[in-house]
Amino acid sequence: MIKPTADDALLVRKRDLKNNYYSITFKPFTSAKKCKPGHFIQLQIPKTDIFFRRPMSIASVSSDGDIEVIFNVVGRGTKLLANLEKNDTVNILGPLGSSFSNPKKNEEVVIIAGGVGFPPLMYFATELVKSKFPAKQIHFFYGGRSKDDILEKSRIKKLGLNFYPITEDGTFGEKGLVTKPVERFINENEKSKLRIYSCGPTGMLKAANEIGKKYNIPGELSLEAPMPCGVGICLGCIVELEKGGHARVCAEGPVFQIGEVKL
Ligand SMILES: Cc1cc2nc3c(=O)[nH]c(=O)nc-3n(C[C@H](O)[C@H](O)[C@H](O)COP(=O)(O)OP(=O)(O)OC[C@H]3O[C@@H](n4cnc5c(N)ncnc54)[C@H](O)[C@@H]3O)c2cc1C
Ligand code: FES
**pLDDT tens digits for range 119-133:** 999 999 999 999 999
For ligand 2, whether the C-beta of 232 sits within 6 Å is: yes
Ligand 2 within 6 A of CB of 238? no
The structure's pTM equals 0.95
Q: Which CATH class name applies to 108-257?
A: alpha beta
The pocket around ligand 1, CB under 6 angstroms, is made up of: 40, 54-57, 69-72, 74-78, 116, 119, 224-227, 254
pLDDT of residue 188: 96
Instruction: Give 83-106 pLDDT, tens digit per residue.
Output: 999 999 999 999 999 999 999 999
Work out the average pLDDT over 79-85: 95
**Are β-strands 21-27 and 174-175 bridged in parallel, bridged antiparallel, or unpaired?**
unpaired
Mean pLDDT (the chain, rounded): 95
Edge-to-edge strands of the sheet including 89-96? 54-57, 40-43, 89-96, 5-16, 21-27, 67-72, 60-61
pLDDT in tens, 134-166: 999 999 999 999 999 999 999 999 999 999 999
Q: Please give the pLDDT value at position 2.
A: 79
**Nearest alpha carbon, ligand 1 atom 23:** 77
Domain boundaries for CATH 3.40.50.80 within the chain: 108-257
Apex CA 244: angle with CA 52 and CA 197, to 5°? 65
What 3-state DSSP class applies to 2? coil
Percent pLDDT > 90 in the chain is 92
Measured in Å, residue 163 CA sits from the centre of ligand 2 at: 34
Top-confidence residue, 221 or 46: 221
* 96 within ligand 2 shell (Cβ under 6 A): no
The CATH number given to 5-96 is: 2.40.30.10
Rounded to whole angstroms, how far apart are CA atoms 62 and 48? 29
What is the chain's length? 263
Average pLDDT over residues 32-49: 92
**CA 189 to centroid of ligand 1, rounded, Å:** 35
Residues of the chain with CATH 2.40.30.10: 5-96
Give me the helices (H) in the chain, please. Answer: 76-82, 118-130, 153-157, 179-188, 202-215
